[in-house]
Amino acid sequence: MVSRFTNLIDLNDMPTEWWNEVVALGAKIADDPQKYAHECDGKIMGTLFYEPSTRTQMSFQTAMLKLGGTIIGFDNPATSSVAKGENLKDTTKIVSNYADIMVMRHPSEGSAKAAALTADCPIINAGDGGHLHPTQTLTDLLTLSKEIGRLDNLTIGLCGDLKNGRTVHSLCKALSCYTGNKFILISTPELRLPFYVKDILTAAGCEFTEVNTIEETIAKLDVLYMTRIQAERFNSPEEYEAQKDVYCLDKAKMKKGKKDLCVLHPLPRVDEIAIEVDDDPRALYFKQAKYGMYVRMALILTILKNEYPTVLLSGKVHKDICCRNPKCITQTEKYLPRSFRGSGDTLECEYCDERLLRKH
Ligand code: NCD
């Protein structure tokens, strides 16, 4: 199923040139934002945030306001008709008739794709559960291209909750599309990167290694991407307690890093970066958050041009099969076509990318 609109559900739905252009436009806007002040006069952006957010929501809102447009939406579903039991389809369908472009964050994996199937305006995925966060990746790419000057031949360390961190999944997928990037995945054995992302790295020919500590690897890195342990995605408080506070980047560890190491974090930080690191010129996370606003201005302009209708579903509907991921949007929105990629015994859910073995 191909959408009438250019949606951003997953960066990898688009060719690399598409997102390179968004990043390049973001860089131009950062140099002269005033030049774009009336590009969206008369346009309305809906922001539907079913999950907490500071940077993503506000940078999108500021981006639209800086382009001359206006905003509607909610940041707490409890104050909308969602609290009365309205399903995702109806809420997004209605708002898509009020807005020209819609930004959505939702706790279920695959929710942005589900909304795009029936919405009457383009949808931007601002985070679908622990799955993907493509606009954070655009932010990260703009930061790297501005601060390092390239997106290839980098040794990138990603540290923290690699299992549940959607920013990590999207960033790995995107950086695997540039030549010569190597990944060092720093996590506890319990919080390793999901297999489907590792398979993408392997298929792209990227080297990656899995390690347990920052100390053993920081000296090799061009980029250190820190993330928080995602408390809200754990199955029990005990499991979270066992993982929290494992990582803390402090001055002593920074001493072992290269002079031009680039330390990024999508934020919010909990305690995985000591405050004392903030004054180190290699700590770029606050700058990164500002780049996020410019790249989102670029993204809004690009999406509204509507030059790249997105393929939403390309697999086959299997009425008799359910995705086994309890966090998949198909678990709660029962009307969705159960569409899977692949053939033979292995099927992959087209909403959340979960793999399941077909039972005969
Ligand atoms: C991230 C997210 O929501 O996934 N935050 C963000 O958008 N900048 C990271 C996080 O919550 O840990």
Domain definitions of the chain by residue range: 11-133+290-305, 136-287, 316-357
Q: What is the mean pLDDT of residues 313-339?
A: 95
Q: Check pocket membership of 310 for ligand 1, CB cut-off 6 A.
A: no
Question: According to CATH, what is the number of the domain 136-287?
Answer: 3.40.50.1370
What's the pLDDT at 352? Answer: 97
Map tokens 């995945």 to a residue.
Answer: 185
pLDDT class of 11 with cuts at 50, 70, 90: very high
pLDDT exceeds 50 at position 311: yes
Q: Which long-range contacts (CB under 8 A, 24 or more apart) does 248-251 make?
A: 248/272, 248/273, 248/274, 249/159, 249/214, 249/224, 249/273, 249/274, 249/277, 250/274, 250/276, 250/277, 251/276, 251/277, 251/280
pLDDT class of 358 with cuts at 50, 70, 90: low
Q: Check pocket membership of 56 for ligand 1, CB cut-off 6 A.
A: yes
**What does R_g of the chain's alpha carbons equal in angstroms?**
20
Task: Identify the CATH class of 11-133+290-305.
Answer: alpha beta
Q: Check pocket membership of 160 for ligand 1, CB cut-off 6 A.
A: no
Domains 11-133+290-305 and 136-287 alike in fold: yes
Q: What is the mean pLDDT of residues 238-247?
A: 94
Q: Check pocket membership of 170 for ligand 1, CB cut-off 6 A.
A: no
pLDDT class of 266 with cuts at 50, 70, 90: very high
Q: What is the mean pLDDT of residues 326-339?
A: 97
pLDDT for 23-44, tens place per residue? 999 999 999 999 999 999 999 9
pLDDT class of 356 with cuts at 50, 70, 90: confident
Tell me, in angstroms, the distance from the centre of ligand 1 to residue 249's CA: 18
Please give the Cα distance from 2 to 69 (Å, whole number): 27
In the chain, the percentage of residues whose pLDDT exceeds 70 is 99
How open is the CA angle 165-170-175, to the nearest 5 degrees?
125
SS3 for 110? Answer: coil
